[in-house]
Amino acid sequence: MTLVTHQGIYRTHYRDDLDMRYLIYDCEIIKCIPDRDGTRFDDYEYCDGWSDHANMGISCVGFAASNGDVCVCRWDDPGDKAWGLSLLNNADIIVGFNSRRFDDALMAANGVAVSTAYDLLEQVRIAAYDSPDWEDQPPGCSYALGAIGEANGFPKTGSGVLAPQLWQQGKHQEVIDYCLNDVKITKALLDLGLKGELIDPNTSQKLQLRPLDNGEG
């Protein structure tokens, strides 16, 4: 497994090379999720919906360390998986984007206990409209990663909905590259938010996020 450093160098890394003040993680799944109307295509395997974490499978997990180093681990590769678990176990602060609701639950359903200490999506929502819950989101607003990234000059390169289709088609590198870009975007947005420079995609106002810590909230 190779890791891409912030200087753009590809090399094998070991635990003590990483600045682990915080670690961003993001999971991609193997099985597709049916449309809201239940539509399924015969060419693909599906889970039973967004809450069916036990049957989604994990294709790969992306990581971004606080010094800018990023990597993606294939979860079907024992060496990669062991490396990814080591990163998670040794991180001081685990960060994600909607990871409390999704990635943590997906990991738990696959026998891995991960507890996000700082969920970027929740913190953006709190800064924008004083609540971490999507139910309180103002009508017509979007705080999806793609929307926030686009507003701040960091566009996504694909779709999480399509990633399972690509994986099942054998286009694994496309999914790995997509996952890698997502953790890069998440880190860039986190850094902006901590400086009070994150642009709200709905109001164009700058958002100040609360500081990182390893507690809940």
Residue 25 has pLDDT above 70, yes or no: yes
pLDDT digits (tens, 9 = 90+) for 124-151: 999 999 999 999 999 999 999 999 999 9
Of 55, 57, 63, nearest in space to 96 by CA: 63
Q: pLDDT at position 37, please?
A: 80
152: pLDDT strictly greater than 70 = yes
CA-to-CA distance for 57 and 159, rounded, in angstroms?
17
**4 strand-pairing partners:** 10, 70
Domains of the chain: 3-207 (3.30.420)
Report the predicted TM-score, pTM, of the whole model to 2 decimal places. 0.89
For residue 38, with 0-12 CB atoms within 10 Å meaning exposed, 13-18 middle and 19 or more buried, which class applies? exposed
Chain length of the chain: 217
Answer yes or no: are the C-beta atoms of 29 and 37 closer than 8 Å: no
Distance between CA atoms of residues 25 and 42, nearest Å: 31
Q: What is the pLDDT of residue 201?
A: 98
pLDDT in tens, 96-126: 999 999 999 999 999 999 999 999 999 999 9
| Confidence (pLDDT) at 115 | 96
Return d(Cα 71, Cα 102) in angstroms, integer.
20
Query: What pLDDT is stored for residue 18 in this prediction?
Result: 53
18 versus 190: which is more confidently predicted?
190
User: What is the per-residue pLDDT for 214?
Assistant: 53
pLDDT digit string, tens, across residues 161-217: 899 999 999 999 999 999 999 999 999 999 999 999 999 999 999 999 999 975 444
pLDDT in tens, 61-88: 999 999 889 999 999 999 999 999 999 9
